[in-house]
A and B are shown apart, each in its own frame.
Chain A
């Protein structure tokens, strides 16, 4: 069965600190896709990244970076120099479908960035 674990329920940091959100997944599929979404207080999900199981290259996008390690079944997300606008709930998700159909979500990590 597929499962996504985000062990950190809530994290609080001060602006400009770096923060890493952990994500551990379980799947028996050899082909799968991992995602990160941001959900601000408004509730709308914001897509951040998709990574397929055959691409273990780390990715950097501005202040965001992702570390995918199949050996530990982890797909961690780091925000560098955090800002107040980064405050949100972040979800890691898993799917066997590139289109993200039938997503299995983790429970989410609430990030609070204080000025």
Chain B
């Protein structure tokens, strides 16, 4: 099946710094990718929809200036958490739509810890 990768798989950063998370579709082109956040022992919440070549669409309550999303190519979307704070610590999961079979595939997730 199609594979979506995320890098890094885990990251620890200091409060106030920025961290970038990459989401790649390895064997298919993805015009649409999604970014989800999952707090410990909680459900996944959609943060934003990332469309190649256009601005991301953010869900209500998600700060677009804090969570910068760039979908610069058909195989790569990046999420940058700017000026990270401890409350941004979470598990971030991306997914990508393969328009061929019209299926969504999830990445393995990135665990962010802000100290």
Tell me the A residues contacting B by CB distance below 8 Å.
Answer: 42-45, 47, 91, 98-108, 110
Using a CB–CB cutoff of 8 Å, the interface residues on chain B facing chain A are: 32, 34, 41-46, 49, 91, 93, 95, 97, 102-104, 106-109, 111
A105 contacts B97, C-beta separation under 8 Å: no
Contact B108 A42 (CB under 8 A): yes
Chain A interface main SS type: loop
User: Judging by beta carbons under 8 Å apart, are B108 and A105 in contact?
Assistant: no
Do the beta carbons of B32 and A101 come within 8 Å of each other?
yes
26 contacts between A and B (CB under 8 A): A42-B108, A43-B93, A43-B108, A44-B107, A44-B108, A44-B109, A45-B93, A45-B106, A47-B106, A91-B43, A98-B102, A99-B97, A99-B103, A100-B95, A100-B103, A100-B104, A101-B34, A101-B104, A102-B49, A103-B34, A105-B43, A105-B44, A106-B43, A107-B42, A108-B42, A110-B41
Q: Is the CB of B46 within 8 A of A43?
A: no
| CB-defined contacts of B32 to chain A, threshold 8 Å | 101
Distance, CA A45 to CA B91, complexed state (A)? 12
Measured between alpha carbons, how far is A91 from B44 in the docked complex, in Å?
9
Q: Whole-angstrom distance from the CB of A94 to the nearest CB of chain B?
A: 12
Q: Write the chain B residue with the least CB distance to A98.
A: B102
In the bound complex, how far is the Cα of B109 from the Cα of A44, in angstroms? 6
Q: Can you list the 10 inter-chain pairs with the closest CB atoms, starting with the nearest?
A: A100-B104, A45-B106, A44-B108, A43-B109, A105-B43, A107-B43, A99-B102, A105-B44, A99-B104, A99-B97
Given contacts A44-B109, A98-B102, contact A103 B43 (CB under 8 A): no
CB of B62, distance to nearest CB on chain A (Å):
13
Selected contact of B91 from candidates A43, A47, A99, A110, CB within 8 Å: A43
